[in-house]
Amino acid sequence: LEKFISRNRQYSCQPTTVYRPEDARQAERHLQDAAQRGANLRAVGSFLSPNQIALSQDAVIALDRMDKVIRVDRMARQITVQAGATLRQISEALDRQGLALPVLGSISEQRIAGAIATATHGTGVAYPPLSGLVREIELVTPGHGILRLAATRDRDFDAVRVHVGSLGVVTEVTLDVCEAFDLDVTEGPAPLADVLERLPQSLHTDHYRFWYIPYADIAWEWTGRRVEPGGRPRSQGHMSPASFWRDRVLGHYGFEALLYLSASFPNLLPKINRWHSRLQFSCPRTSRGRSDQMFNMDCLHREFVSEWAIPVDATPTALKSLQSMADAQPYPMHLPIEVRFVRRDDAWLSPTYGRDCCYIGIINYIPYGRVISHDAYFHAFEDLMLQLGGRPHWAKSFRAGHEILRDLYPKWDDFQKLRETFDPRGVMYNSYTERVLGPVSGEPVQRAL
């Protein structure tokens, strides 16, 4: 039996059936087969998500054989791909035509269908999550077979873009893209208070984010300006041979060893954070390169992560509360806390539905495979985010169930009606969808959770 393991190695499943379709018709037959057998089915992309969203012990449909770029329309600035194409494949195909994805998150290993289903985002308050780039989508549903939905034509289009894997299997996607560009990136440290005071101006830059370092009381700002493509890539102040010892040996392995130690001696953590921030976050640096390569970064350590989208205006309150939490030291807070900004989206279940958002992400490392207790920290963070009107990132850690989430999404009930139509017997179902979206009201198939 094939085993699927999440990138942080904390979530896995060994389904009895794995389907690998090569086109939409085959995917339809697989769905029919799963429904007839009374199996629960989850579609998987790269199986990276650090939570239970893609797990199924019963049946999985993997889109890795459907990863082709179908066409790039240079004039219309659109790309059509099979749903199993990775973000990296898409960026490479676009680059060959002088085009690019307008925005990306920290990595490009996700398959486009997985990224869209969870409203994966980058940073830049003028740029939507990746789901906001979708213009057409082909979806194979248990209830209605193969559907092709377009932004310009279909009432249900905004429901199916962010669907948390619960409406069917996405097999093809057309995305709006843009002219290729380079990013000119400036990074440097600043006191958190200054960063918050300057925030309205900072948000005017193309792509802006910062990382707050608990206990060290500084923030590390990252500002990306879009410039003409083709300039010479450069990198000053980081990843030179001279900094290899500092960044890789001490900053990575040394840091991980100290985190491992802090599991037994949590009082060490403030000192570790301050040491690491002096080592890695004290010298400003600049760099320039192709946009996708500059958006992506090394996510070296394995980690648990919780990320929530709150209204942009709530950013200072949220950060000050997290700073007070660090000052009070009720529990260890790993560095850094990532703060990004994303434009509103019209997809019904997008965390940025109807409002520009600040995404705040907290992490807890798993140094050398050692799980460090973090429930109290993550729960306090979730409570704070809920108080500020936050909505969780679907692919990360959160406790809230459908009883809470339904009040956070104006189109929740409409989505559920569509779910009942597209998947009346709850084929696309697992314990995550049961908790987060609630049961489908139709006659349930056998639940192998």
Ligand X SMILES: Cc1cc2nc3c(=O)[nH]c(=O)nc-3n(C[C@H](O)[C@H](O)[C@H](O)COP(=O)(O)OP(=O)(O)OC[C@H]3O[C@@H](n4cnc5c(N)ncnc54)[C@H](O)[C@@H]3O)c2cc1C
Which residues are 208's β-sheet partners? Answer: 223
Q: Are 134 and 102 in contact (CB under 8 A)?
A: no
Binding mask 372-411 for ligand X (x = CB under 6 A): ---------------------x-x----------------
Residue 163 CB neighbours (<10 A): 30
Site for ligand X in 289-308 (CB under 6 A): 299
Query: Among residues 79, 113, 319, 405, which is the contact residue for ligand X, using CB under 6 A?
Result: 113
**Binding-site residue total for ligand X (CB under 6 A)?**
33
Q: Are 425 and 440 in contact (CB under 8 A)?
A: yes
Query: Among residues 54, 175, 326, 385, which is the contact residue for ligand X, using CB under 6 A?
Result: 54
Phi-psi region of 193 (alpha: psi -120 to 50; beta: other; left: phi over 0): alpha
Helices of type H across 308-427? 315-328, 375-387, 402-405, 412-422
Q: Are 78 and 53 in contact (CB under 8 A)?
A: no
Binding mask 86-105 for ligand X (x = CB under 6 A): -------------------x
Q: Does 118 bind ligand X (CB under 6 A)?
A: yes
CB of 75 to ligand X, least distance (A): 28
Q: Are 333 and 214 in contact (CB under 8 A)?
A: yes
CB of 299 to ligand X, least distance (A): 4
Q: Does 142 bind ligand X (CB under 6 A)?
A: no
CB of 142 to ligand X, least distance (A): 12
Q: Does 83 bind ligand X (CB under 6 A)?
A: yes
3-state SS, residue 101: coil
Interacting residues of 259 by C-beta distance below 8 A, sequence separation 6+: 272, 334, 365, 367, 372
Q: Are 68 and 23 in contact (CB under 8 A)?
A: no
CA distance 339 to 286: 20
Q: Does 117 bind ligand X (CB under 6 A)?
A: yes
CB of 347 to ligand X, least distance (A): 13
Segment near ligand X (CB under 6 A); pick from 45-53, 144-152, 175-183, 384-392: 45-53
Residues found near ligand X in the complex (CB under 6 A): 7, 42-50, 53-54, 63, 83, 105-107, 110-111, 113-115, 117-118, 120-121, 164-165, 169-170, 299, 393, 395
